[in-house]
Structure 1
Amino acid sequence: MTKSQAKMAGEIADLFSVIRQNTAFLGVTVSCAVKETFFPVANHASASDAGELPLGRHQGKLVKTVVAHVLSELNKNYTIVTKKLIGIDHHVEITMAISNVDSNDIQIVGIHGMDGSNSSTIAKAEKLKSPNPSHCEGLIKSPDFSTLATPERLKVEGRISLESLFNTSNLGMIKEIKLGECLNLVEVEGFTGLKSLERLYMSRCISLERLADISNLEMLKEIWLGGCSNLVEIGGFMGLISLERLDLSRCVSLVRLPAVSDLGKLKELWLGECFKLAEIGSFRGLECLEILDLSRCKSLEKLPDVSDLGMLKELWLGECSKLVEVGSLRGLKSLERLDLSWCISLERSPDVSNLGMLKELRLGDCPKLIEVGGAGGLKSLEILDFTRCKSLERLPDISDLGMLKELWLGECSKLAEVRCFRGLKSLERLDLTRCICLERLLDLSDLGMLKELRLGECKALAEVGSFTGLKSLEILDLTRCISVERLHGVSDLEMLKELWLGGCSKLVEIGDFWGLKFLNKLDVSGCVSLERNYPMYKTWQR
């Protein structure tokens, strides 16, 4: 080997040493398995191929050799691109010029992290399937994709400086476009020719104000525009006969939603946190819709008619602070989750008696709610939440809810009486914390599956039924129940792990609990009457 060849071999060895120490040089599209293949190939290239390299310091020659070996080892599926070796233009030219690589076999080209990339780069690679100039922080002008014959995916994302996307209308075979987090992207043109497009991702393009006409994209299945905070206008959805998912969540400037009645295959509609959205058209025609999210639409006063949405499984309306009325839910035979929590203007819940498949009903933090209709017929209900419904005085009859697992009534400050526990065979968690008007809690004997019973700070609670029968109870909290004098059946709580009685100043008797072998937390601090009658309790803290 000549001196120059030896020098070149040394430089190559040093270069691969740096690459091994910083795997970020490899494109993020490259899997761990690819990297494991890359390193042995790199070693082979640096050890045996240096003599075959033409002399000179053009780093492209080195990349040519490495790429050729890697593509050969990986069945020509990937191109490895390093961040600091050479410019993208040189890389593409060299990759396409490699004699033993068929450009038709190159499926993914990652060109991540290349600052100041030339906009004409991709035009040189006619057969690329998935051009990917993501994380090119200096990229301002879009590459010209007009020469790419049959690309299937285009990915341009990662907080780059791109301001406009080159006309893509000639990319008739493209199936997926990802433009997420292009923070300076103001406009996108030329969607009209994308007859094969199935997925369009433009999430968090915070400068985007208007979406170009997409009405003729008959194959489009998914549109993701979540977090486009300046988006004020959408041309329309007419013609999107294949659309299944539409995400406009966190589009905080959007005032009006275009008609969606033509979207007969739509399964998911995400509109959460569209703070200015006050007008929503009819949902008629959305026969396949399964998820409707309108949570935190703070300008929405009335929900459009949803009674025809027979396939709907989830309806999210939480934190719609101006919502005063929810129309008929009759017809929602498939509904499993209904969230109306934090609807602070809502006075009465809709009639839910026909929702036979409902599993979760959340009405927490509805301070004006005074009436709940039809909850007694929800045979499949597992979670019922009325937390901080401060106007609720009476709980509907829920004795038939045999599948109910969680009942949340904490801080219902006007709730004076709770009956109807008989029949709740599956109940595991019951929370009545800070129900300050609650005076008695009787007949808990049917709650054989109950694991947590929280009654802390129920200051008016004077009478609690026997705990006999609560064989599964693990946590019992009566902290600062200042009116309770006696507890019955504590010794029967075989599975009890935590007993919280601190601040029960009138408590004089709790019975024998020496046999509670799983008890590991006991608080009787501040039980002054108990300490006076039984001084030994002071030593029972755990």
Structure 2
Amino acid sequence: VFVAMKFLRICSEDLTSTPNFSATPFVVNLMFDECRMLNGVHQSIGNLKNLTCLDLRSCCMLEKLPDTICQLSSLKMLNLSDCRKLSSLPEQLGGLASLRELTLDGTSIGIIPDSIGRLENLYFLSVVDCLLLKKLPQSIQGLNSLQKLGIKGTSLEGLPRNIDDLMNIGTVNASCCNWLSLLPNSSYKTVRSLHFSDLRCSTIAELPDSIGKLENLERLSLECKNLKCIPASVGLLERLSSFSLCGSQWIKDFPAPMGNLKNLVQLEISGTGMVEMPYCIADLTNLRSLNLSHNSKLLISLSGLTALSFLEVLIAHSSSWADDDDSDHGDFGNLSSLKIIDLRESHFSVLPSSITRIPVLQELNLGSCMELQSLPGLSASLVCLDAFKCTNIKMIADVSNLESMKELHLDGCSLLVDVCGLERLPSLEILTLRDCHSLGDAFKQRVFK
């Protein structure tokens, strides 16, 4: 009846099995969208020689696929994500000669057939949150077209030793692989993005020196609780543009030198055990964004940052700052490109007066800096100031020069007695003063007359 049909989408929570596909021999795109009770696929699906897309996502009761599915010579995309009861794949999966995308996220698959190595056109393979998957087959080395590999949230204990044979692999996401302990000592030459984040229970203690051979690596993300050191070879990653090191409390220092990282524009070092500012940060002259948050033992020194003339974003939540003397240690004025400073929940009593000399500063966040006692004059370019819950602050210097100021948040500044010039801010759109109990009648009459 539907001989000419090319697109078929069925969405039914009551459907328990697919129809016989003999009536739709020319269908190209087949979707069973969230058919949560579907527990069987008719074997006639193997006769759909023109089928290029098969989407069975969220078919929660589906336990197996018919072997005839391996006859789909034109199939390019197979999506089985969130088929939670699916525990195995057909042994002849490699017969899907045209397959480019295979998504197995959230399934119960524990073993991937060796025949997957015959999928010469496979571009994307994702086994995210396959909790029963402990290893990838060695035959994966045959996937010469593979560019993206997603293994986030699996139980993999190691990556294939022959991953180097994946000639075009560009992205490897191994986040949340809590059992991952072994990284192959290979060069991964084509990898551009490598993520080992959210590994809070991971046993990874070190990275191989060969990581420095990742000639094309652009993004490196590490959140490895037990990581003890960063190999100096990281400094050889000339194309690296983003580097994130989070939650590694055993890390006491940063590798040096870093002068070869000319393309690094984003650096995050948070939640580590560092006690001193890594002097090599000064070598990162093209850095645009720097995050030094939650390093409880680190005393951040302004003098270690003043060489970063292109820095636009500085984030340092819950941090402690050294009392640098502007004349001897450099000042904020050297950070001429800085647009955003976020120091919320940090520990210091005074901001350097040099903050007024940042010519393009737009946003200053000092929320919950409870030791802060006063604010100096601020940069005339400032658009947003957040001093929420700065409970020790009593006075803010004259703000009448802040002609671009649109947002001013002073909630919870319980000791604040005045904000000079507040009534002369022509661009102000948002002002919050909740729980500022010390602002007297004179202030209110002057500002809200």
> TM-score, length-normalised on structure 2?
0.77
Distance in 2 of aligned mates of 1:377 and 1:184: 53
Comparing 420-429 and 218-227, the one that deviates more:
420-429
What letter is aligned with 1:129? A
Distance in 1 of aligned mates of 2:310 and 2:379: 20
Correspondence list, 1:176-191, <5 A: 176-188=29-41, 189-191=43-45
Shift of 1:272: 0.4
Quote the residue 1:391 is aligned against. 250
Correspondence list, 1:6-405, <5 A: 125=1, 128-130=3-5, 152-155=6-9, 157-168=10-21, 172-188=25-41, 189-213=43-67, 214-236=69-91, 237-251=93-107, 253-259=108-114, 260-282=116-138, 283-297=140-154, 299-305=155-161, 306-330=163-187, 332-344=188-200, 345=202, 346-350=204-208, 351-364=210-223, 366-373=224-231, 374-397=233-256, 398-405=258-265
Structure 1 residues 506 and 224, CA gap change in structure 2 (3 angstroms): closer
What letter is aligned with 1:307? D
Q: Match of 1:163, SS? A: coil
Quote the residue 1:523 is aligned against. 387
Shift of 1:177: 2.1
Q: Match of 1:495, SS? A: coil
Distance in 1 of aligned mates of 2:120 and 2:235: 34
Structure 1 residues 343 and 457, CA gap change in structure 2 (3 angstroms): closer
1:288-345 Cα deviation digits (max 9, x unpaired): 0011001011x22111231111211111110001111121341x33322111001232
Shift of 1:440: 4.2
Distance in 2 of aligned mates of 1:468 and 1:462: 16
Comparing 391-400 and 463-472, the one that deviates more:
463-472
Shift of 1:482: 3.6
Structure 1 residues 462 and 390, CA gap change in structure 2 (3 angstroms): farther
8 Å contact from structure 1 (residues 405, 427) kept in 2? yes
Distance in 2 of aligned mates of 1:388 and 1:467: 28
Shift of 1:241: 1.6
Quote the residue 1:104 is aligned against. none
What letter is aligned with 1:487? P
Comparing 213-222 and 264-273, the one that deviates more:
213-222
Distance in 2 of aligned mates of 1:165 and 1:536: 69
Counterpart of 1:445 (choices 278, 281, 306) is 306
1:495 is the counterpart of 2:360:
yes
- Identity in percent: 24
Shift of 1:481: 4.4
Shift of 1:222: 1.3
What letter is aligned with 2:47? G
Shift of 1:526: 4.8
Shift of 1:506: 7.8
1:43-69 Cα deviation digits (max 9, x unpaired): xxxxxxxxxxxxxxxxxxxxxxxxxxx
Shift of 1:245: 0.8
Structure 1 residues 517 and 168, CA gap change in structure 2 (3 angstroms): closer
Quote the residue 1:141 is aligned against. none
Q: Match of 1:178, SS? A: strand
What letter is aligned with 2:31? K
Shift of 1:537: 9.4
Shift of 1:539: 2.9
* Larger relative contact order (Cα-Cα within 8 Å, sequence gap ≥ 6): 2
Distance in 1 of aligned mates of 2:44 and 2:168: 35
Shift of 1:485: 6.0
> TM-score, length-normalised on structure 1?
0.65
Quote the residue 2:435 is aligned against. none
1:234-287 Cα deviation digits (max 9, x unpaired): 113122221111111111x21111121111110000110111112321211101
Q: Match of 1:280, SS? A: coil
Distance in 2 of aligned mates of 1:538 and 1:503: 18
1:397-437 Cα deviation digits (max 9, x unpaired): 33332222221112224443322123423322211122121
Distance in 2 of aligned mates of 1:313 and 1:537: 57
Runs of 4+, deviation exceeding 6 Å: 528-531
Structure 1 residues 193 and 514, CA gap change in structure 2 (3 angstroms): closer
Structure 1 residues 325 and 515, CA gap change in structure 2 (3 angstroms): closer
Q: Match of 2:333, SS? A: coil
1:106-141 Cα deviation digits (max 9, x unpaired): xxxxxxxxxxxxxxxxxxx35x422xxxxxxxxxxx
Q: Match of 1:215, SS? A: helix
Structure 1 residues 219 and 450, CA gap change in structure 2 (3 angstroms): same
What letter is aligned with 1:310? M
8 Å contact from structure 2 (residues 81, 103) kept in 1? yes
Counterpart of 1:408 (choices 263, 268, 271) is 268
Structure 2 segments unaligned to the other structure (5+ residues)? 397-414, 423-430, 432-449
Structure 1 residues 519 and 201, CA gap change in structure 2 (3 angstroms): closer
Comparing 441-450 and 308-317, the one that deviates more:
441-450
Q: Which has the larger radius of gyration?
A: 1
1:192-249 Cα deviation digits (max 9, x unpaired): 3333322211111111101111223222211111111110121131222211111111
Structure 1 segments unaligned to the other structure (5+ residues)? 1-124, 131-151
Quote the residue 1:470 is aligned against. 335
Distance in 2 of aligned mates of 1:384 and 1:504: 31
Structure 1 residues 456 and 218, CA gap change in structure 2 (3 angstroms): closer
